[in-house]
Structure 1
């Protein structure tokens, strides 16, 4: 079957003639990135939104798995005392003797003693549990309290290509630590009006960290999650998101599906749980888009 010259040719990045994606922009194809000949130093990405339930942990797990599929070595850092990321990768937060908390607060604990391999090839985990909640208070009296996580990650960043920090739903001192350690920020944003209203405060916090603590920090992108194209509400919110953030909005949009909670119960990424599902393909596209934007090597 012949292909019209104005249609997208897979792997070229060319716009598909006439096709418009959920963001209202022409659909683009993001090519497979070249293989890496060596690994490290890592680009560190903070997955941040002070609102809960927007898909931070789901996106951390699945973006990490998708980057690993592309040959990247990935470390996922659970930076939420609830330990959802750790549980989502098969660890039991209640049985962990050493976590990211110990790495940050006890100088005798080596980070490599805490990093765990996961069932996902190419993905390692720096786990957390409820102990991390104490760090918020204890860090107040620490010297250079905003830079404790950055110091902890310094020992491992040469070993990985990408480090993704799954932050708690808060703009407290832990999140400031994550932003200070990071090169980039991904903001998962559920396609609902209430979620959109809260983002202005987050962007203000990011700008303050840029000014005072981490000038290299940048917003890699805004990721629309739980999108339902059948509802006018979702489409209207998507238009508002694009108006507010412009090209910072990823072309990739994560649609609502029951497969994500099913994969969470199975403690594995959707990429292995339902490898051909649209949700898995969306995170593969997100990984390619992130690399094409320069957000990952």
Structure 2
């Protein structure tokens, strides 16, 4: 059996835990979810850290029982992830400081499952998943995930923090809506949570619907929203060069690509950097599950 044919498990933790088996850079099992109902998708943030890690372990064990051998396990989590440790995670604050790789390896070994565990940032997992889906595993892929927060992912993995959602795109002292408490961040403008704080009388979808009808306040915010993403993308282009960007997440529905491209082109004026491209992709947990498993397999020895 070649390395690609070996069975790996990918698991992502965000609103819910979603897990599946991956082989040959494809998901080969049905996905299993916890909680099972999407109506309980905010329940994970209320679980104590020990309980959440136990649930993750239980999901992995359930899948492991369906295959002969598990080559590796990949886990995607929001936040700053380094050396298998969650250094910070505003969206899952109870996980701050958790040594997830070590704790999961120990728990799995106690159940007779000896395998390697790789923990990665969830946006990096999305980037790896999209690279696998589109046959781009030999190229650099960058993605923005537009949801409760704003994630920035890059494939292949490289050293760095890569918290691109906290890129500073405004010098306005009043821009303090980011979940981390920082000022002027792209997440403080574009994040779902931030939009709800900004428009206490409207849901984000109502804001963009009103903008289409010409409401002045909402029209101005729609422009600001797109300018924030354009500024963060332009910053990435100026640092790492032009290339492919994917946009995904449940708020990708608000993106108007012509407007976004126009703003980026106003910000990126040097001709060698103007060869960028942007595509939108619907939110799909399969990408994170696949990407987490792909990254785990690549890092396994």
TM > 0.5? no
TM-score by length of 2: 0.27
The two structures have a TM-score, normalised by structure 1, of 0.28
Q: Higher RCO, 1 or 2 (CA under 8 Å, sep at least 6)?
A: 1
